[in-house]
Each structure stands twice: as C-alpha cells, then as structure tokens.
Amino acid sequence: MRAHPASPVDATVVPRFAGDGTFARLERWEHLPDADTLVWGIPFDSGVSYRPGARFGPQHVRQSSRLLRPYNPALDVSPFGRRTVADAGDLGVNPFDLSEAIATIESTATQLVGTRRTLVTIGGDHTIALPLLRVQQHLHGPVAVLHFDAHLDTWDTYFGAPYTHGTPFRRASEEGLLDLEHSVHVGIRGPLYSKLDLDESEALGFTTVHARDFIRHPIDDLVNRVRARLGDRPVYVSLDIDVLDPAHAPGTGTPEAGGLTSRELLEVLRGLDGLNVVGVDVVEVAPPYDHAELTGIAAAHAIYELLSVLPTPSA
C-alpha cells in the first residue's frame, strides 16, 4: 500500500538517528503546504516561576519523537494517514517582553490556523496557552478545556504580573474563552496556598480529577467522567508534562511528587477518541533536567496519541 504523503520517513531506508529533525520525521510544511494539521514549536519560557529551560523543549521533543511509527495499534488508526500532518518549525518570540510574545503567538497562530487547520503546539511554558485559546475562541466560541497538569494554573498574579505560566486559565476564563460548564483539570496534586485556590478554580469553570483519583478508581471510570464533562463541545487539550510523576518526567520546571505514570496518561488520551478535539498544546518540557530522554519521549508519545484522536477532517 502506498504511503500517505505525510507519513514519516521509512526507517528501513533512512536510519532513525539520521535524516531531518522534524517531529516524527514528518515533511516540513513548506514541502506540504496543503497540510490540514501542523505541529509547531514555541521555544519560550519567560513566564516560568521556578526552573527555566522549556525554551529548549520543542527541539528536544522532536529528537525524542524519532522512534514514532505510522500505525497506532492501541486505537487501530494511522494518525498520519487520515490527516495530512506537517512540521511548521518554531516561532521566534521576544524572550524579554511577555506582552509582545503573547501578541506574536496569537497573531501567528491565527495565520497558521487559517480556515480551520488544526494546530498541535510544543512549548515552551504554559503561558502560551492563553493566546492559543484566544484563537480557538475566535473559531469556535468558548471551548471546553481539558487541562492535564500538576497545578491549577488559575492563580491571579505572580509578583503582580498577570501573565505567567501559572495564570493562563484565570485570564482565559475572565476573557470568556472557556466553556464554564465543560472544562476539567486532570492530575492536580501537591500543596496549595490555601483551600481558596480550589474554590476559585471551580468558580472559573473547572471541575477537577485529582492525581489521587488514579489510585482509587479504574482509568476507564475516570475517562468516562472526563468525557461526560466535555460532552460534544469543541475541546482544547492543554497538557503540562508535569502531570506525570517526576519518575516519568524529570525534565520539567515545577515537578511535583505523586503524579501519573506515562501509561496512565496515554490511556486517558486514548480515551478521548471520538471527541471533537480542535487543538492541542504540550508544554513545560525542560531538557536541562531530563535524563535519558524520559520526559521528551513521554511528551512525544503524548502528542502521537493526541494526533491519533483528532477527528478526521471533513471533505
């Protein structure tokens, strides 16, 4: 059977450690201008509150994606076959001016989306979710956000700054970007500033599946709970790699003990099949703290599963 034009390079012809450094060794966008799905990177971490390094995430995840293959047996789908996926490279943004960076991300994402092209974004820190959600709201109205993270990211400010990697979903809720009845956090854990943090997150539109719920309940039950919350709404998936336990993802800026395993995360992502996923970001991979590509590999596989559950484009 003839390979899809966007399929990864054949590893029996070009070894996996050679060839172009695109995600999953896909074609570059300039060679596939009609691609309906773009993987692109935003190497930006000026919004972090603890350890920097996520600016190096996009290239690290691409390197870790070289072992991905065209067929996903868990979902019986070829993610590069039912969609035309290309790598659009990295966006250069101002690392010294948060407001300018956010504006650049929003304007560039608007251009890339065009007439409903799907964006899969590799961060970068979680600040980038806000401008990406602005673009989705313009296309779809308020979207249901499925947010994987150790942290709520609904805080108000850090040192008086309203735009940081800990505030994107408060700003998004305030701006009317979120569907307040259909958004959900998954994987939340660790100490908080007060109980008020949880109360405010709920008021901003989120219900929460805590990391400890993965001990008490079967994954299928948790997936059903998430699906019931999301319903048939347009869904934007925002995945902070620190949703994983540091044993599975040490390369991140704000690690928290007690997180999900890679296997648990991938199973939840597979459980999204059939939902109306309209956009994706995977953020906070910080390679300076990674070991043996554990974090990069986990992120690459998460993106692969998310590509696998994207709905088939309409003709």
Instruction: Grade residue 14 by pLDDT with cuts at 50, 70 and 90.
Output: confident
Residue 174 pLDDT > 50 = yes
CB burial readout 9-21, b (16+ within 10 A) else e: beeeeeeeeeeee
User: What is the percent of the chain with per-residue pLDDT over 70, rounded to a whole number?
Assistant: 97
Residue 298 pLDDT > 70 = yes
Residues 6+ apart with CB under 8 A from 260: 187, 211, 214, 243, 244, 245, 248, 268
41 by DSSP, 3-state: which?
Answer: strand
**DSSP assignment of 264-298:** HHHHHHHTTTTS-EEEEEEE---GGG-STTHHHHH
What's the rounded Cα separation, in Å, for the pair 75 and 181? Answer: 29
Domains of the chain: 23-309 (3.40.800.10)
Q: What is the pLDDT of residues 31-67, one digit of tens each?
A: 999 999 999 999 999 999 999 999 999 999 999 999 9
Q: What is the DSSP letter of 153?
A: -
Instruction: Grade residue 116 by pLDDT with cuts at 50, 70 and 90.
Output: confident
Residue 130 pLDDT > 70 = yes
Query: pTM of the full predicted structure?
Result: 0.95
Q: What is the pLDDT of residues 221-269, one digit of tens each?
A: 999 999 999 999 999 999 999 999 999 999 999 999 999 999 999 999 9
Among the residues of 128-259, which ranges form H helices? 129-140, 168-174, 196-203, 213-216, 219-230
CA-CA-CA-CA torsion for 236, 172, 256, 192, nearest 10 degrees?
-140
